[in-house]
A = this chain, B = another copy of it.
Amino acid sequence: MPEGPTLAELGETELIRRLGAFAPQGQFADDAALLDPALFGPNDRGAHPLVVNTDVLVEDIHFSEATMGSSDVGWRAAAANLSDLAAMGCLSVVGITVGLVAPGHTPWHWVEGAYGGMAELLGAHGGVLLGGDCSGGRQRLLAITALGRLTSGPHGPIRRGDGRPGDQLVSTGAHGLSRLGLALLRGDAVPALPEASKERAIGAHRRPRPRFDAVAAVRDTRPAGLPWRVAGCDSSDGLAAAAACLAVASGCTALLAHADLPLPAELEGLAAAEDWCLWGGEDFELVLALEPAWAEALVEQLAGARRVGQLVEPQPEGPLAWTDGGGAIRPGAAAFSHFS
């Protein structure tokens, strides 16, 4: 039977593109799905748009018992989901449903820890456990769907495709610390670091925080008279992937500069610093494209936020290029694939 390519041969980007053909046009364009309240009937025109996001976290791919306990697994799984709600401009969380898959020999203790970690995250950022399902299976796995709401008023959603040439790219924080934390947890060879730096890196990896505070700051810093237009996504797959994703969706090229890379102090002097900053992933910051005055106001108000580049008309180098030498960055080459 001619079965055609396997998922590993297709690659994740092409797989998602093909799956998008089963959804309404544009439905797969953002970090999460935006549900227009008009969907809910004529009585609901005053209702808040809902945002829905599903993430699956699989043992040995997204987490490992070697690097973290189950309460960290639960926290991270829920945080990854809520980060996508923040990336859509949500400030408040309705809740999550959790599909738990685990082999029958899994200790209850592990599951209790995972749900405890999710509950801790929800306690810190809002929302409740709404429901879910559980099943046996060969591998532990959490499939989480998060529901958030966009408050009505002058604030709209954050969309990947709303960037324009001339926008400044702002990162809400440093990138690469989570990757350093992973290296430390794995016992990879890493130059000697102060204990406090190690703790911060491991904390960044185990207990990332969805940046709802950054969404609030984006709202607060909108210059008078500017309409709502904010492009953005979260940096779960790394800074370079986030910038590329905004650039592609907005039909622009993202210009980065080595001098402006948001390196955390903990990575100073590490040979892998730039690589981890660009491709490490799982820092769960927001990468935003804003009009220059707005970007400036945001960087001024939000501690840790930095200008990392700009969007320009599409360039022959592709969606990502350097302004200060170094050539184009080719996303995909170094990007992580969940199927390989």
The chain A residues found within 8 Å of chain B, CB to CB, are 3-8, 10, 12, 15-16, 18-19, 22-24, 27-28, 32-33, 35, 37, 39-41, 43-44, 46-48, 50, 52-58, 61-62, 94-95, 97-112, 115-116, 118-119, 128-139, 141, 143, 145, 147, 149, 151-152, 338-340
Contact = CB atoms under 8 A, between A and B. Distances in A.
A303 to B, nearest CB: 29
A339 to B, nearest CB: 4
A34 B131 CA distance: 10
Contacts of A149: 39-41
A63 B47 CA distance: 39
27 contacts: A3-B108, A4-B109, A5-B108, A6-B105, A6-B108, A7-B103, A7-B111, A8-B136, A15-B111, A16-B134, A19-B132, A22-B116, A23-B129, A24-B129, A27-B131, A28-B131, A33-B131, A37-B44, A41-B48, A43-B152, A50-B50, A53-B131, A54-B131, A55-B99, A58-B137, A61-B137, A143-B143
Nearest to A115: B22
Which of A3, A52, A139, A151 has the largest count of B CB atoms less than 10 A from its CB?
A52
A102 B7 contact: yes
A3 B109 contact: yes
Nearest to A11: B104
A123 to B, nearest CB: 11
Given A7-B102, A43-B46, A108 B18 contact: yes
